[in-house]
Every structure is written in C-alpha cells, then in structure tokens.
Amino acid sequence: ETVAGDTWGGMAALAGSWIGGGANMMAMQVAFDVDQTTFSQFVVVDVAVGYVWMAVLIFLANRAQAIDARTGADTRAIEDLKERLASYQKQHERVTTLTDLMVILAIAFGTVGLAHAVAGPASAWFGNFEWARQVSLHEPFVWVVVLSTFVGLGLSLTRARALDGAGASKIGSLFLYILIACIGMQMDIGKLADKPWLLALGLIWILVHIVLLALLGKLLRVPFFYFAMGSQSNIGGPASAPVVASVFHPSLAPVGALLGALGYATGTVAAYAVGLVLRSMAGG
C-alpha cells in the first residue's frame, strides 16, 4: 500500500534527488509522469529531511577529529589530500577574464543546446519501440539530462578542465542553485497534510542510509570526512556537497563537487531502476 497510486512515482523522483540531485529528480518526474501534487509533496520531503541531515553533518564536521579519534580512523590520507589540493588550486587559480566567462557560458549553453537538438530526434525514434517507451527513452528531457551529464564528464577529461581555475565550478554552482530554486517553487507544504506519513517515509529512508554508511565506515575505519561526503554527495548533490566538504577544510570543496557530479552522472540511471522496481511493486 505504501507505493500505491502515484506514490511510487514520487518515491522514484526522491530517489533521483537522493542518488544524484535536482536534475535527476526532475528527470524522474518526466520519465514516470509523476502527478504535480505528488511531486510537490516529495519536494517537501526532500527539503525537510535532506537539509536537516545536511545541518547535522555540518555540526558533526566540526567534531570530526574527536569522531576519528574515537573510531581509530587513519586520517593521514586526508591530510595529504588537503595539501595536494591546496597546492593544485594555488597553481591553477587565476583572475577570471571576460574571455573566460564567455567560453564557460558558450560551452555550457552549447552543450545543453546540442543535447536538446539530439534529444528530439532520438526520443522520437525510440518512441517507435515499445520496449523503449517502457524505459522512458521516448521522453526528450531524459535524453537532455543524460547527454548533458556525459558531455560534461567527457569535457573534464580534456583541456577544458583548465577553465575550473577561472571559476567554471562556481558558475556551475550558480546554475545549480537556480535549478534548486525552480524545484523549490513547486513545493507546497500544505499538500503534505494530505499524506503526512510521507515525511515518516523519508525519515526511515534516510535512517537506513545513515545506518548502512555508519556500519561500513566503522568496519573500514574510514575518516568521518568520507562518511560525510559519501552521504551528502548523494542526498545533497553537487550543490551542497562542496559546502559540507569546505567545513572540514576549504581546499576539500572540489572533492565534494566531484563526488556530487558522480552522483549526478549515475542518478538518472540508478533512480530509473528504482522507479521500475517501485512501479512493479505498485502493480503498474
């Protein structure tokens, strides 16, 4: 009964957010044709539960040394990483010029434009096949998200990654916050009154996530930083993972951004798989 009606679709959208980020959540809304009311209810759950957990991580980050000492974690790798990242940033950071900004924006909008150009014909062609329709390959927005993500990852392996020293990541974060604001505008706290148990569902979901990570962290004796990043890069994504990482040390912010981007890259596919399972459980 938990996944009955449209609830399973909202859970799939929430999985998109908590595996990747906002774009993955919206992709799942389109892929599974999630009702707007249901979607707005799960946006409330996402914000209420996810960002409370982020606040807890920030609080605990200031006590990371005590936590690591208690668990016997080896923090030498983290200290070495701090030094290497600080050195790398010092070598590559530069004053952003107008040319840098134009190139960064041209690549960003050009990539999205190319994704839209390919998404239309690709979704139309795949729409001719029943198996493709069952996995939402006939939805243009799904193609836009997937193509944009993988083009971005591909560019990170080229000389274009040097643009990060000119502030490419900061501009990317700006657009992510705009996306989050757009999602937030679809939130209606009042609509959650119809299904208050959805908040409990979100709490149970994230508690399972926390317990599994905590057990694994204790078993492997990893520093608390890895626990926090493993959690926030999924639950929060690339918009908030760097914020949590920077609480540990400012030079570690790129680690949060990288892990958050990895969550974005896998979020659509993984959340879609979750959605298919939920749909089958709902009898769809």
Instruction: Assess contact for 21 and 178: CB atoms under 8 A.
Output: no
Instruction: Assess contact for 138 and 127: CB atoms under 8 A.
Output: yes
Contacts of 143 (CB under 8 A, 6+ apart): 115, 118, 119, 122, 123, 137
Give pLDDT, residue 117.
93
Cα distances (Å, whole numbers) of residue 130 to 99, 111, 125, 126, 194? 47, 29, 11, 8, 35
Name the amino acid, one letter, at 202.
G
Q: Averaged over 123-141, what is the pLDDT?
A: 79
Helix (H, G, I), strand (E, B) or coil at 191: helix
The pTM (predicted TM-score) of the whole model is 0.72
CA atoms of 140 and 13, how far apart (whole Å): 17
Q: Averaged over 97-116, what is the pLDDT?
A: 92
One-character DSSP codes across 14-54: HHHHHHT-HHHHHHHHHHTT--HHHHHHHHHHHHHHHHHHH
CA atoms of 17 and 11, how far apart (whole Å): 10
Q: Averaged over 110-115, what is the pLDDT?
A: 92
Judging by beta carbons within 10 Å of its beta carbon (0-12, 13-18, 19+), is residue 130 exposed, middle or buried? exposed
Residue 126 has pLDDT above 60, yes or no: yes
Which residue, 36, 10, 37, 38, is CA-closest to 25? 10
Domain boundaries, the chain: 7-96+167-281
Which residue, 71, 65, 5, 63, is CA-closest to 37? 5
Instruction: Assess contact for 236 and 244: CB atoms under 8 A.
Output: yes
Model pLDDT for residues 210-266, shown as the tens digit of each residue: 999 999 888 888 899 989 998 988 888 777 888 888 888 877 777 887 788 788 778
Sign of the Cα pseudo-torsion (102, 21, 29, 192, in order): negative
Give me the phi and psi of 129, to 5 degrees please: -115, 130
Least confident among 65-69, 149-153, 180-184, 279-283: 180-184
Give pLDDT, residue 210.
93
Name the amino acid, one letter, at 9.
G
Q: Averaged over 72-99, what is the pLDDT?
A: 81
| Residue predicted with more confidence, 36 or 185 | 36
Q: What helix, strand, coil percent values describe the chain, rounded to 5?
A: 80, 0, 20
| Assigned token pair, 272 | 């879609």
Give pLDDT, residue 3.
56
CA atoms of 249 and 65, how far apart (whole Å): 12
Percent of the chain past pLDDT 90, that is, above it, reads 17
CA atoms of 168 and 100, how far apart (whole Å): 9
Contacts of 112 (CB under 8 A, 6+ apart): 144, 148
Name the amino acid, one letter, at 112.
V
Give pLDDT, residue 204.
93
- Counting every residue written for the chain, the total comes to 284
Cα distances (Å, whole numbers) of residue 124 to 41, 133, 138, 141? 31, 10, 6, 12
| Assigned token pair, 83 | 């030094």
